[in-house]
Amino acid sequence: MEPVISFIFHVAILLMSVVIHEFAHGWMALQLGDPTAKNLGRLTLNPIKHLDPIGSFVVPLMIYISSGGSMTFGWAKPVPYNPYHLRDPRYGEAKVAVAGPAANLLVALVFGLILRFTASSGLISYELVQMFNTIVVLNIVLAVFNLLPLPPLDGSKILFAFLPNALGELRVFLERYGMILTILFIVFAFQWIYPLIFFIYRLIVGSS
């Protein structure tokens, strides 16, 4: 029964984190003049509006099992927005894109600072320490991973906003093969971002 409870615990934190991520995209789009997410009922923290059967349940379960219960990962349905409604046509998409990872880093910062100043003092229970630690790690992972410059990840929108016209062929290549490259990265190179994840974690929490 304990593995089942642990999985539910991890998935609940994951869902909370990806919902905040998607909400932030919709919120930023609204601030920039696009009400698409709001009109479709997606500008909400209600997880039911954001759940993706594969990314929110199947993939987290597979990763949890394959990692021996040490981690999980997944995603929610992307919040739609209309780039033509954004008041900033040059950098609007980049601003919407960066809002998701920024929201995850903000969540990691809040719970990480709580850990930094209370964990060793005994002011919060061991169970809360474990919960907050999982929240911090998962949100850092979501932020770092989504900032990779590969479509359909948020980092690609940021890259394309600053990419010179002379490198237009690179954008075409990434848009054509981005999904394949992202899957290959997850399977073969995900460990490359571990040092950055650990660095951000230590920076916030103050310990490994």
As annotated, the active-site residues are 22
Task: Return the axis-axis angle of helices 168-184 and 154-162, rounded to nearest 10°.
Answer: 160
Tell me the three state secondary structure of residue 120.
helix
* Token couple for 167: 């490198």
* Token couple for 80: 């739609």
* Token couple for 127: 């169970």
